[in-house]
Amino acid sequence: MEELETILKNNRQWADRIEKEKPDFFPKLAKGQKPRYLWIGCSDSRVPSNVIAGLEPGDMFVHRNIANVVNNNDLNILSVMEYAIRVLKVRSVLVCGHYGCGGVKAAMENHPHGMVDNWLRPIKEVYQENRKEVDRIEDEESRINRLVELNVKKQVERVANSTIVQDAWADGQQLSVHGLVYSLENGHLTDLKISKIDRSGTPEIFHVSE
């Protein structure tokens, strides 16, 4: 029970502090949310989205899974994306990977890890597609880190090519999709500069028109 007690104690201290500093914070948030960002990141405990982005509750809609994979048959992420983009009308989708990602490392290995091997399959495909480039890198850590970046790039493309984002752009909704990578070593976020701001940056086959 010690773990739970710690959480409850921390929570009450946090809520009391916020209430003291900003008395209208909770009543305002209780009325509704208007986040500007949708975060798609890794479940890794060392990459907590709001904390590393320096944002408050209410600022960011969040989806996290192992190795930040965007699957277009995953009802969970599709529901999150549809609600965040079409209902809450977030302005930016941030796909964030992190160096030293255990999921990406596992995807590069041949020995079994359990259920997660099915989940990581799209990353194996990214690895396979970029095998020449990645395998040329001598150091194992750097190889993993390059695949982390390539995986973010692939998932940015999947978000941008999704029917949800394509529909939003076709309707003239202002929305950008960005690829970021986080360093566990120094806490820095880096923009991979692979942003998509409208459908002109996506292959025509994915465009939606009436």
Instruction: Give contact residues for Zn ion (rule: CB under 5 A).
Output: 42, 44, 101, 103
Q: Closer CB to Zn ion, residue 86 or residue 124?
A: 124
Record the tokens describing residue 198, joined without a space. Answer: 């409208």
Q: Identify whether 36 is a catalytic site residue.
A: no
Q: Closer CB to Zn ion, residue 103 or residue 179?
A: 103
**Cβ 58 to Zn ion shortest distance, Å:** 25
**Cβ 42 to Zn ion shortest distance, Å:** 3
**Cβ 102 to Zn ion shortest distance, Å:** 6
Q: Closer CB to Zn ion, residue 63 or residue 199?
A: 63
Q: Closer CB to Zn ion, residue 53 or residue 101?
A: 101
Q: Identify whether 98 is a catalytic site residue.
A: yes
Q: Identify whether 96 is a catalytic site residue.
A: no
**Cβ 107 to Zn ion shortest distance, Å:** 11
- Three-class secondary structure assignment of the chain: CHHHHHHHHHHHHHHHHHHHHCCCHHHHHHHCCCCCEEEEEECCCCCCHHHHHCCCCCCEEEEEECCCCCCCCCHHHHHHHHHHHHHCCCCEEEEEEECCCHHHHHHCCCCCCCCHHHHCHHHHHHHHHCHHHHHCCCCHHHHHHHHHHHHHHHHHHHHHHCHHHHHHHHCCCCCEEEEEEECCCCCCEEECCCCECCHHHCCHHHCCCC
Q: Identify whether 101 is a catalytic site residue.
A: yes
Q: Identify whether 46 is a catalytic site residue.
A: yes
Give the Cα-Cα-Cα angle 38, 141, 64 (nearest 5 degrees). 20
**Cβ 103 to Zn ion shortest distance, Å:** 5
Q: Closer CB to Zn ion, residue 164 or residue 181?
A: 181
Residue from 63, 96, 98, 143 carrying the catalytic annotation? 98
Residue from 96, 101, 158, 178 carrying the catalytic annotation? 101
Q: Which residues are catalytic?
A: 42, 44, 46, 98, 101
